Structure 1
Amino acid sequence: MEVRWDVFLIIVGSALVTFLPRVVPLMVLSRMELPEWGIRWLNYVPISVMAALVGQELFVNDGQLTSLWTNVELLAAIPTVLVAIKTRSLLGTVVAGMISIMILRYLL
């Protein structure tokens, strides 16, 4: 099996580009004491990223905003969110979402 150097360098470069932005801030911030407001602000980052990803999936289709009645995923999100609020269970939320999407795709 022949090793092509251009492919090898692309793999190594991709690994560095993926690894460095994750490790360098961790190394720098581990030696610093962040103020209380900074720690509170960082607690909202995962929630914001998840909301942006889910919101884009639910409300945008092919670059256009979709209406409620033609969007099966958005309709399935309604009972899923209600189950998540009521049970606070990840497994229950996932099961509710899967059942909701299956029923709605079958009916619509």
Structure 2
Amino acid sequence: MSAMTLLWVFLAAGLATFLIRLSFIAVEGRVRLPSWFRTALQFVPAAMLSALIAPDLLMQHGELALTPANARLVAGVVAILIAARTRSVGWTIAGGMAALLALEALF
């Protein structure tokens, strides 16, 4: 793929993303969304984050790896436990990364 084609792909993707986000801002106050839809929108950030992170935690070398030898999965569980206990983003990141580095050093 040439650099110019890649540039057009990036510009088109950026414009599409901008228009999708703008559509929600532009209709704010003009369109009354159903309450079930507004309730569902609250879960979008958590669902998107889970969809991005889960494959990285659960897969190793293209295969499902639900074993204690999967350092990323174990570190993810450690991070989840820290988050549940402390409710602190900083401690969650620090604890999860420390667990990941320690486990990768062991394996």
Count of aligned residue pairs for this structure pair: 102
Structure number with the higher helix fraction is: 1
Unaligned runs of 5+ in 1: 1-5
Runs of 4+ in 1 over 4 A off after TM superposition: none
Q: How does 1:1-108 map to 2 (within 5 A)?
A: 10=8, 12-108=11-107
Specify the SS of the correspondent of 2:33: coil
Unaligned runs of 5+ in 2: none
Specify the SS of the correspondent of 1:70: coil
Specify the SS of the correspondent of 2:31: coil
* Structure 1 residue 85: Cα displacement: 0.4
Measure, in 2, the Cα distance between the counterparts of 1:63 and 1:29. 42
CA RMSD, Structure 1 to Structure 2 (Å): 2.2
Name the TM-score, length of structure 2 as normaliser. Answer: 0.78
Measure, in 1, the Cα distance between the counterparts of 2:93 and 2:100. 11
Pick closer, same or farther for the CA change 1:43–1:75 going to 2, 3 Å.
Answer: same
Q: Which amino acid aligns with 1:27?
A: A
Measure, in 2, the Cα distance between the counterparts of 1:15 and 1:80. 32
